[in-house]
């Protein structure tokens, strides 16, 4: 692996962070100094703009060295961060950091990442093997999970929100921070229950897509059948759709298996998990 390939590997990891999914990420970009004159080339730059007034810049320096990173690298990056007015600075290295480097990084608020591709690949294979051996879901659970994710994804699409809580319409981007602060699941839990409690809610034009989602979801629940569990009783449809709105996959799966409505539960026969979620 070359230094350039290492930068690409670190970039790939950064793109997997939740807060970076909607960020602008660039490699070897040059920034003009704001507090100090000059031009500064950054290995990885992560830019997030929430609004005209809210902007965040994180810079990452990558070191694919056969030795640990020492103090001068940290000091130099701290100066670069201040010169271009970046909000956060990170050093990613394959062989760690010296004690002096760690001390200086703590003093300047520089994050230190040890990123070793070979170690990470081995760990991933080990974890994947453990998960496959111990947690391979049954065919019935796989089928229920697929049904659940299909219903939940279609619900989010109906209200123009993606799985990360981002609104899809550009004009509604200002809602982003509020959705994260309030939790999209909490909003849906209250909204769907209250909306559907009114007899005439389907007559409201603004709720047309939500009504279409409910109709299509009911049809999917009616036709869903497993050899071991057969068809889902219609008395459970309302409760199952509420669990989809709450994004509670475990309770959704358990209710399909136990075949009981929450209003007439045989409580001693159910696991504690359902006791907490359905009372």
pLDDT in the model for residue 75: 93
- The predicted model gives 247-275 an average pLDDT of 61
What percentage of the chain exceeds 70 in pLDDT?
A: 74
Find out whether 221 and 232 touch, Cβ atoms under 8 Å. yes
- Over residues 85-99, the pLDDT tens digits come to 899 999 999 888 999
Long-range contacts: 189-195, Cβ < 8 Å, 24+?
189/242, 189/245, 189/246, 191/245, 192/241, 192/242, 192/245, 193/242, 193/245
Question: Where does the pLDDT of residue 102 fall: very low under 50, low under 70, confident under 90, or very high at 90 and above?
Answer: very high
List the beta bridge partners of residue 90: 60, 111
- The predicted model gives 17-35 an average pLDDT of 85
pLDDT at 249 over 90: no
Domains of the chain: 3-122 (3.40.1350.10), 137-278 (no CATH)
Question: Where does the pLDDT of residue 129 fall: very low under 50, low under 70, confident under 90, or very high at 90 and above?
Answer: low
List the beta bridge partners of residue 27: 44
Rg of the chain, C-alpha, whole Å: 25
- Over residues 153-183, the pLDDT tens digits come to 888 777 765 544 444 444 444 455 455 444 5
Q: Which of 30-34, 48-52, 73-77, 235-239 has the lowest mean pLDDT?
A: 48-52
Q: Is 245 exposed, middle or buried (0-12, 13-18, 19+ CB in 10 A)?
A: buried
- Over residues 42-57, the pLDDT tens digits come to 999 998 887 777 788 9
Count of alpha carbons within 13 angstroms of residue 125, beta-carbon side: 5
Q: Dihedrals φ, ψ of 214, to 5°?
A: -65, -40
pLDDT in the model for residue 76: 93
Q: Which of 55-69, 129-143, 257-271 has the lowest mean pLDDT?
A: 257-271
* Strand (E) or helix (H) holding 6: helix 3-15
């Amino acid at each position: 692996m070359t230094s350039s390939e290492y930068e690409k590997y670190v970039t790939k990891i950064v793109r997997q962070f939740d807060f970076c999914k909607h960020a602008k990420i660039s490699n070897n970009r040059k920034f003009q100094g704001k507090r100090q004159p000059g031009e500064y080339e950054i290995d990885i730059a992560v830019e997030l703009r929430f609004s005209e007034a809210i902007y965040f810049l994180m810079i990452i320096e990558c070191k694919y060295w056969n030795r640990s990173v020492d103090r001068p690298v940290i000091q130099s990056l701290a100066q670069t961060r201040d010169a271009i007015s970046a909000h956060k600075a990170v050093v990613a290295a394959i062989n760690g950091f010296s004690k002096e480097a760690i001390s200086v990084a703590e003093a300047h608020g520089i994050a230190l990442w040890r990123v070793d591709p070979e170690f990470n690949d081995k760990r991933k294979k080990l974890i994947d093997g453990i998960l496959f051996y111990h947690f391979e879901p049954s065919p019935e659970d796989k089928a229920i999970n697929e049904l659940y994710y299909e219903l939940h994804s279609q619900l989010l699409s109906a209200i123009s929100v993606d799985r990360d809580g981002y609104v899809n319409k550009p004009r509604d981007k200002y809602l982003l921070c509020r959705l994260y602060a309030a939790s999209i699941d909490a909003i849906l839990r209250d909204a769907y229950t209250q909306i559907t409690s009114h007899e005439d809610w389907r007559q409201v034009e603004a709720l047309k897509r939500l009504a279409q989602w409910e109709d299509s979801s009911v049809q999917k629940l009616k036709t869903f059948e497993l050899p071991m569990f057969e068809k889902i009783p219609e008395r459970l449809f309302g409760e199952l759709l509420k669990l989809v709105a709450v994004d509670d996959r475990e309770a959704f799966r358990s209710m399909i298996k136990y075949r009981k409505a929450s209003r007439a539960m045989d409580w001693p026969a159910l696991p504690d998990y359902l006791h907490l979620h359905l009372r």
